[in-house]
Structure 1
Amino acid sequence: MEFNVILTLRIIQALLAIIVLGISAYVIDVFSPFNTIDSANFLLFNSIWSFVALGYLVATPMFFPNFHNRWGVLGVEAITMVFWFAGFIALAADIPTFRCDPNFRCPIGASKAAATFGAFAWLAWLGTLGMTAMKQFEKYEEPQQQPSEAPHLPQLSELGTGDEGHENRIYGHPPIDGSGTLEMPDVGQYGGNGTHVEQER
């Protein structure tokens, strides 16, 4: 669901960039014979920059995954958001200084429209920046699952630990006493056929 929201905002960002591109180009064309409006030029630059940013954000994951970096994505989102914020604020501040000659075209209405659509573009980029940052940091903070350890199986040398005769008893050998000598059973306790014989008391 989050991917669909971001994709929708990407489309809105592209459409707003096209709209601002056309309106700001009109404002620049009206003032070009007499004066240069830096704020309108900056909005025009923002529109062109937005196409470059969208190309990086949308195309690199599909065609150039090696160039798609998490920090690069956040940097492009943040820079573009700041550009749009500075652009529409600057143009809105310049509009009261515009003067129209009745004999020529008046770009005040177009300038207001460019600033308004620039503000919407800023909100769109602010939204994608917030959602992208949350998504990236959630992946970064997600604990990695540790592989389960295999159960420890005692080695043959560990079976006699703490009990010197334990290993020998398991395999049917006579136990070894503390001095390290092998304890042999009394032969008199067994008959010739290997059966146990009770000694007379």
Structure 2
Amino acid sequence: MFNLNTPLRIIQAIFAIVTIGLNAYVTHWYTTHTTTHSTPPSPPLLLFTATLTLLTVPYLLLNPALSLTHHNKPPGRFFNKYAVLALDALICLLWFAAWIALAVYRHSLLICLGHTCRVMYGSVVVGILAWLAFLATTTLAALHVLRTRGGSATPTQRHGMWVGKPTSHA
């Protein structure tokens, strides 16, 4: 079976970096070009979500691989499937809330014709793609939790589908 975890995590990190760039531009524009010098809350929410993504993707990426380094030890030493599922679900919800908030804010603007509005539109699209990537990994993590709830298999059999190695059925 093909390992979907690694490419999806790399895609998530790329989307987070792009989102940081786009929303940093929007935030900077609002703080320098408006009379109130304040930013609407949605671009900073996307900045926070993207930063949190960059902080957690290394843990989420390396955990399944670390769980297979010690075949004779329990995989809980490095890999906690519930922590991975909880982090995936939390970040998935944050991405969903953040791109929805920015899309609603952009739609509520009376006049939105400039470069900043196009950047906001691009940020919404990247947010949707990042949310879909996290939705996929959350689904994979949930399936992994459901498949491994018995606990009678070896570490390689328990986590083989998560990291892409075929499992042997006895």
Secondary structure, aligned partner of 2:39: coil
Please tell me whether residue 42 in structure 1 is matched to residue 52 in structure 2.
no
Greater Rg by CA: 1
Secondary structure, aligned partner of 1:140: coil
Q: Deviations over 1:153-189 (max 9, x none)?
A: xxxxxxxxxxxxxxxxxxxxxxxxxxxxxxxxxxxxx
Which residue type is aligned with residue 121 of structure 2?
Answer: K
Give the TM-score normalised by the residue count of structure 2.
Answer: 0.74
RMSD: 2.5
Instruction: Count residues with an aligned counterpart.
Output: 142
Which residue type is aligned with residue 84 of structure 1?
Answer: W
Please point out which of 87, 102, 106 is paired with 1:95.
106
Greater than 6 Å deviation, 4+ residue runs:
none
Cα deviation for residue 96 of structure 1 reads 2.4
Structure 1 portions without partners, runs of 5+: 146-201
Greater displacement, 53-62 / 120-129? 53-62
More helix by share: 2
Structure 2 portions without partners, runs of 5+: 68-75, 155-170
Which residue type is aligned with residue 55 of structure 1?
Answer: P
Higher relative contact order (CA 8 A, sep 6+): 2
Which residue type is aligned with residue 120 of structure 2?
Answer: S
Give the TM-score normalised by the residue count of structure 1.
Answer: 0.63
Partner of 1:56: 59
Which residue type is aligned with residue 48 of structure 1?
Answer: T
Do 1:53 and 1:80's aligned partners in 2 also have CA atoms closer than 8 Å?
A: no
1:113-152 matches, within 5 Å, as 113-141=122-150
